[in-house]
Amino acid sequence: MPDTALYPNAPHLPLFDIDKELKKAMQYYQAGELYAAEAVCRKILEIHPNHSESLHLSGIIAHLTGRDETALHLIKKAIQNTSGISAYHNNLGEILRRQGKSAEAISSFQQALHLNPDDAKAHNNMGIAFKEQGRLDEAISSFQKALALKPDLAEALNNMGIAFKEKGEFDEAISCYQNALKLKPNLAEAYNNIGIAFKEKGDSDQAISSFYQSLRLKPDDAQACCNLFDQLQKTCAWQELGSLSVRLDDLTKKSLDAGTKTAESPFLNLTRCADPSLNFAVAKSWAFDIEQTVTEMNVILAPESTVHHSRNLFSHQQKITIGYLSNDFRNHVIAHQMLGLFDIHNREDFEIFCYSLAEDDGSHYRRQIEQDCDHFVDLSSLSHADAAKRISDDQIQILVDLMGYTSGSKSEICAFRPAPIQISYLGFLGTTGAAFFDYIITDKIVTPPDQADYYSENFVYMPHCFQVNNNAQPISDKAWEKSDFGLPDEGFVFCSFNNTYKLEPVIFDTWMNILRQTRDSVLWLLWENEAAERNLKQEAEKRGVAPEQLVFAKALPLDEHLARIRLADLALDTRAYNGGATTSNALWAGIPVITMQGSHFVSRMSSSILEAIGLPELITRNSDAYMRLAVHLAHSPDKLGAIRIRLEKNRLTEPLFDTPGFVRNLENAYKEMRNIFLAGERPRQIELGINP
């Protein structure tokens, strides 16, 4: 029987054994009978409201049953009564972390470790919080400390693998995941993560196998479902995509209905869904999650980043400081397209900073961009907060994010608002759904005015095409022969050098119809992986087309690829996600492109590009019209020849490849944004006139 002197609030219940009741609550809790356990704790707290263990257990149960604010209140009260128990602080930190309050969580984990430096779980949780803040080296150090204390902690190995993966160290990540699975063979998350690492290494078969294994262990894992969809898409394994897409629709809807971040990335959603309203909803869920994380970090940037100080400062600055932020200042399509832009900027009016999120790849693209901007800053080793501080300290007036939700992006940096004016451009071709971007560079074809409600950003309408291109892009003088690439010496060569994730059954059906109606024709495609080649040949055979009519070409340096593509007769665009740079590259090489206009940004890009080069007759609106035009041109050499002659003239005279003209228009947009800001007005739509 307990000593009733310890329970002054309950002298009338001397027979109430609190220790016994608490043991009963724990038994209920361990058996998964949460509400029964909570009822017992409530009974204890009615007698002794400050009983710390009951408060703590009640808090854990509240968290597990979706009542996080109640959970935080109860555990904080337990800590007030008994502050010296490490587990209380650790569990408080974990709930805070799951709420996106990573800075508060880290403080709680630090207190837990102050009380018990040998708490492996607290070290692991601390590592997760560091990782979420982009502090990857500190995260890895925390996981290593956890494993030194508890070598069989599979979760710490899995988490350390994620941190290595985010650093781009995929072999180290895979080793961590494999070791985690040795300890815990049914750890579904580790299978999902090892699949991601194999995907990044280009091993599609291993990636797909890992994602399937993850889903076998955890069928409702939305992240594994997304990853599997992505890999099946990239390997053109279409048979299961239909049912998987329905499953993914349901998972995405559940997240949106619950007001939580979708497992499906905004980029994946763009590739499989042409509904701008759904694209917007998915992007907003990601943006809100980023905003919450950054808000809870409670980082204060330099005073110059505040609106009042910025207006005072910038009104006295002669030059507008522009910061371009990207992971792709390297041998990447974004660098290919933008290479001519940085040097052309008018240095009397602008000072150009380029902020790189990727380490130096040694390419001439990196060297050229470093040379052409005024300041090149490598942020790759900095945390999100420190990167934002650097941009703020540089007094950037306009920050242009070239990433959005693409690989290697760090939108958290922009969420700190290091610049008073922030723009989304080129890397992510859709809305970010983020309040921390004021504008998106676009045009009236890819984003018609009636789609403004589906964008968080204000449209900045370029007078021609949204896309910048490099009009100094060289084309190799190599005299390629068709035989160099397995193409027939005679016959018509269609080509589509788009990535395989852009291929889907509807456009492939159309392509196969075109091949069947064009004698001795072949379709020349970009080779990305063995699985895609195998699957596409099987799909062709199903549609009555000989597999030999599909010819695959591996990637080449851009100048050599542009020389190679000249061996084709006509380029066929993808439907759901058009070619962007792929379409411009074909046109720069002199190859006409047929497209089909869709309903969202990425399915309207080639229409914008073709209008800007003066070939609108190559834009179609449905599969039948697309097929008829392709077959007609393949059978009409004179007409196709006339289009090619016009293209050769237009590429030097029409706006698409007028890089100086594009930069002048862009600079006018920047000046207008700055004027709006200095006038104290809210960002608004900007429509640029045509320069003489």
Neighbours of 628 (CB within 10 A): 15
H/E element, 322: strand 320-326
The angle at the Cα of 594, spanning 590 to 597, to the nearest 5 degrees, equals: 135
- Evaluate whether 426 touches 441 at the Cβ level (below 8 Å): yes
Greatest Cα-to-Cα distance within the chain, rounded to the nearest angstrom: 105
**CATH number, position 567:** 3.40.50.2000
Same domain, 448 and 492: no
The answer to whether 595 touches 573, Cβ cutoff 8 Å, is yes
Are 340 and 430 in the same domain?
Answer: yes
Distance set, CA 112 to CA 83, 84, 526, 586 (Å): 10, 9, 54, 60
User: Is 112 within the bounds of a domain?
Assistant: no
Query: How crowded is the C-beta side of 550, counted as CA atoms within 13 Å?
Result: 24
The pLDDT value given to residue 313: 67
Question: CA 230 to CA 554: how far, in whole Å?
Answer: 21
Q: 3-state SS of 185-210?
A: CCCHHHHHHHHHHHHHHCCHHHHHHH
Q: Which regions of the chain are under pLDDT 50? A: 1-14
From 580, 360, 585, 368, select the one nearest 476 (Cα to Cα).
585
Identify whether residues 652 and 520 lie together within a single domain: yes
Residues 630 and 670 in one domain: no
Q: What is the CATH number of the domain that holds 427?
A: 3.40.50.11380
- So what's the pLDDT on residue 318? 83
Neighbours of 555 (CB within 10 A): 11
Note whether residue 417 is domain-resident: yes
R_g of the chain computed on alpha carbons: 29
Domain span at residue 629 reads 482-657
Give 302-308 contacts, CB < 8 A, sequence gap 24+: 302/389, 302/392, 302/393, 304/392, 304/395, 305/392, 305/417, 305/418, 305/419, 305/420, 307/420
Q: Is residue 496 part of a domain?
A: yes
CB-CB contact of 163 with 185 (8 Å): no
Q: Give the number of other CB atoms < 10 A from CB of residue 438.
A: 24
> Do residues 636 and 670 both lie within one domain?
no
Q: Are 456 and 581 found together in one domain? A: no
Contact between residue 454 and residue 421 where contact means Cβ atoms under 8 Å apart = no
Instruction: Judge contact between 280 and 431, C-beta under 8 A.
Output: yes
Residue 514, in any domain of the structure: yes
pLDDT of residue 285: 98
For the sheet with 593-596, list strands across it.
Answer: 550-553, 522-526, 493-496, 570-572, 593-596, 619-620
CA distance 313 to 19: 65
Q: Would strands 375-378 and 550-553 be described as parallel, antiparallel, or unpaired? A: unpaired
Question: Is-contact 165 143, C-beta < 8 A?
Answer: no
Do 602 and 669 lie in one domain? The reply is no
Place of tokens 């084309």: 475
Residue ranges of the alpha helices (H) in 326-380? Answer: 333-338, 341-344, 364-372
| Nearest alpha-carbon partner for 92 in 124, 121, 60, 133 | 60
Residues 197 and 273: their CA atoms lie apart, in Å, by 26
Looking at the structure, do residues 510 and 626 belong to the same domain, yes or no?
Answer: yes
DSSP string, 369-415: HHHHSSEEEE-TTS-HHHHHHHHHHTT-SEEEES-TTSTT--HHHHH
Residue 278 lies in a domain: no
CA 545 to mean position of chain CA atoms: 36
**Is 100 among the domain residues?**
no
Question: SS3 for 450-482, per residue?
Answer: HHHHHCCCEEEECCCCCCCCCCCCCCCCCCCCH
356 alpha-carbon distance from chain centroid: 17
pLDDT score, position 153: 96
The length of the chain is 692
- How far apart CA 581 and CA 578 sit, in angstroms, is 10
CA torsion sign, 497 to 527 to 542 to 635?
A: positive
Q: Which of 643, 601, 604, 644 is nearest to 621 (CA)?
A: 604
My answer on whether 308 and 446 are in the same domain is: yes
- Output the pLDDT for position 317: 74
Contacts (Cβ under 8 Å, ≥6 apart) of 471: 340, 657, 658, 659
**Number of domains forming the structure of the chain:** 2
DSSP class of residue 224 equals H
- Predicted confidence (pLDDT) per residue in 519-561, tens digit: 999 999 999 999 999 999 999 999 999 999 999 999 999 999 9
Res 308: pLDDT: 58
179 neighbors 157 (Cβ within 8 angstroms): yes
pLDDT at 302: 67
Q: Do 365 and 436 fall within a single domain? A: yes
* Non-local CB neighbours of 653 within 8 Å, separated by 6+ positions: none
The confidence score (pLDDT) of residue 98 equals 86
pLDDT at position 34: 94
Residues 446 and 555 occupy one common structural domain:
no
Residue 309: the pLDDT is 59
Residue 342 lies in a domain: yes
Examine the domain organization and report whether 511 and 608 are in the same domain.
Answer: yes
Q: Which two tokens stand for residue 274?
A: 């042409």
